[in-house]
Structure 1
Amino acid sequence: MSTGDLCDEVAHLKTACDAVILAHYYVSPEVQQIADYVGDSFALAKLAATLSCHTLVFAGVRFMAESAKLLSPEKTVLMPDQTADCPMAHMVKQETVAAARAQYGEDLAVVCYVNSTAEVKSWSDVCVTSSNAVKIVRALPQHTILFIPDRHLGSYVAEQVPEKNIILNDGCCPIHHNISADEVRSLMAEYPDAPVLAHPECGPEVMALASFAGSTSQIIEKAAASQAHDYIILTVEGVRGELERQTAGSGKRFHFPSTRPLCPDMSRITTEKVAACLREGTGEIGLPPAYIAKAARCTLTRMLELGR
């Protein structure tokens, strides 16, 4: 089927199924083009809870679709490929959380990055995203914070909120963690006037080279608003499509490390799979057991309240 025919079929299926397609910035440009909305985790989580459609198609990884289902349990939520997962979402043990609660008691808040499973969220007090983590941690009444599962984002938050005692968990995003500081330095030597815009899931050596740190959306906004010609971008390369769309005609150029930071799970999402899940009603995401769903939903709702 040609690209045009596939897009026409998706448009027809969306109408027939009363469906909205939500796509993360990290999926391919082709998938982003057929989506109704493209955004980062926080924007899509907020949006999913407000839409009046019957069906949500989540073009992203599993924790995103799970979060949409938790916030909109009455909707049908479909994933084009249910094997598209996030390794970091599983990188924390319940014993770690239990031990911290036993040690610190009421002075502890368990802060969970939204890149986590529903079960991990259910162990926590509040969710955060990379765009609101600093704001929410600063606003919490507790002095001690166990930040799960991403140690790199947790370390960044600790630097921004030094008045808190932040305990880090040993998890990370393999893609951001593997961005090489040496490759970044090579880019900086080649483009000495280029701002270095980094996602805080990157490791500390890379973050030390950044001139700006922020979520995917914040990186896009920074590049669109700045006057430089060249930009060094330190996050998953899928964001290039939105960067180029928002800066079309400006002559701006975006440079990624030579070892391309691509997410293999995001790459599993294709236009063909989006069409297939709508056509066949496959890839439905259900709710977890009630005790997990209730607790996990509370952490997401609290994030939406504190992150305003």
Structure 2
Amino acid sequence: MVENERQLIDKILRLKKEKRAVILAHYYTIPEVQQVADFTGDSLALSARAAETDAEIILFAGVHFMAETAKILSPDKKVLLPEPEAGCSLADSCSAPDFERFLRDYNGYTVVSYVNTSVGVKALTDICCTSGNAVQVIESLPADAKIVFAPDRNLGNYIKQLTGRQNMVVWDGACGVHEEFSVEKILELKKEYPEAKVLAHPECKRAVLLTADYIGSTAALLKYASTDSADTFIVVTEAGILYQMQRENPQKRFIPAPPVDSTCGCNNCAFMKMVTLEKICSALEREAPEVVIDEEVRRRAEGSIRRMLQIGRSK
């Protein structure tokens, strides 16, 4: 670690203590950002964890919808997003105005939306879900329920297949990173490393999922990598997760799955990589940029999340 970086980290830790802040970092952020975080993980779990703390400030090292979710669950805390331009290709594929117009054709349908959506879409949603509990959420509904699932077509169709729900309309959105993985290159890696197990996120295309030994959310993939006896894994999700996998399993080997175009760096989310130590330090110093949400919209969005959490508690 260079001296400047060490000084920057020390300053962040000092500011965090002075301002009673908690730093959250998604698994897809760069390693040095994850190193200064109080908590690392998936977006909803991080927001729920922060809500339980006595911190006055939440700094979310991630993308915009994640910071919004933290604000939804912690309306009395100041929420900072160090890089306001850090969006999400999946969330951006389903704008609230477009989704509202879309829903006019589906009166009487239960709306289930993935957590990777804007606060506006969550406010139009009956029940939120994560990639880890989407099956549970769908199966909590009556067998004949008519359902709209948004925004990820790959996750939606995967859940539709697992649950056998035929009355399920899936919004046509996708994550730019998970769309780009190459089946052919994954199969080539499997030939090169025949002992390796393939771990894939359900946001990937069906053809990619068919190559997988295990399919799960980011947290589930991390757990599987730590508990399975295999010592080599081909990881088919955003490459930032490899830092945490390697950190928890230094004796194992983790190989990032390549995208169709290996020169484009498409297995990295450019938005996540926009968050840096310098931007975290600046945000803590200025207590800005701050995430501000209309209270009525926030309350409706919170309802969709609380209903999801209630389903989990009822099991």
Give the superposed CA RMSD: 1.3
Equivalent residue number for residue 65 of structure 1: 67
Equivalent residue number for residue 138 of structure 1: 139
**Counterpart contact for 2:112–2:148, Cα < 8 Å:** yes
Equivalent residue number for residue 281 of structure 2: 275
TM-score by length of 1: 0.94
Equivalent residue number for residue 229 of structure 1: 231
Deviation (angstroms), 1:186: 1.1
Give me the whole-angstrom Cα distance separating, in 2, the residues matched to 1:125 and 1:54.
30
| Identity %, equivalent residues | 39
**Counterpart contact for 1:42–1:131, Cα < 8 Å:** no
Equivalent residue number for residue 246 of structure 2: 244
Runs of at least 5 residues in structure 2 that lack an aligned partner in the other structure: none
1:299 aligns with 2:304: yes
Equivalent residue number for residue 255 of structure 2: 255
1:290 aligns with 2:295: yes
What is the one-letter code of the residue matched to 2:125?
Answer: S
**In structure 2, which of residues 148, 151, 158 is the aligned counterpart of residue 149 of structure 1?**
151
After TM superposition, the structure 1 stretch with the greater mean CA deviation from structure 2, 91-100 or 178-187, is 91-100
SS of 1:143's equivalent?
A: coil
How many aligned positions are there? 300
Deviation (angstroms), 1:304: 2.1
Runs of at least 5 residues in structure 1 that lack an aligned partner in the other structure: none
**Counterpart contact for 2:24–2:60, Cα < 8 Å:** yes
**Counterpart contact for 1:41–1:129, Cα < 8 Å:** no
What is the one-letter code of the residue matched to 2:254?
Answer: F
Equivalent residue number for residue 127 of structure 2: 126
Give me the whole-angstrom Cα distance separating, in 1, the residues matched to 2:173 and 2:219.
23
**Counterpart contact for 1:143–1:164, Cα < 8 Å:** no
What is the one-letter code of the residue matched to 1:257?
Answer: A
Deviation (angstroms), 1:164: 5.2
Give me the whole-angstrom Cα distance separating, in 2, the residues matched to 1:164 and 1:137.
12
Give me the whole-angstrom Cα distance separating, in 2, the residues matched to 1:98 and 1:122.
15
Deviation (angstroms), 1:42: 2.9
**Counterpart contact for 2:235–2:255, Cα < 8 Å:** yes
After TM superposition, the structure 1 stretch with the greater mean CA deviation from structure 2, 91-100 or 81-90, is 91-100
The 5-angstrom pairing of residues 95-106 of structure 1 reads 95-101=101-107, 105=108
Deviation (angstroms), 1:224: 0.6
Deviation (angstroms), 1:256: 1.2
SS of 2:104's equivalent?
A: helix
TM-score by length of 2: 0.92
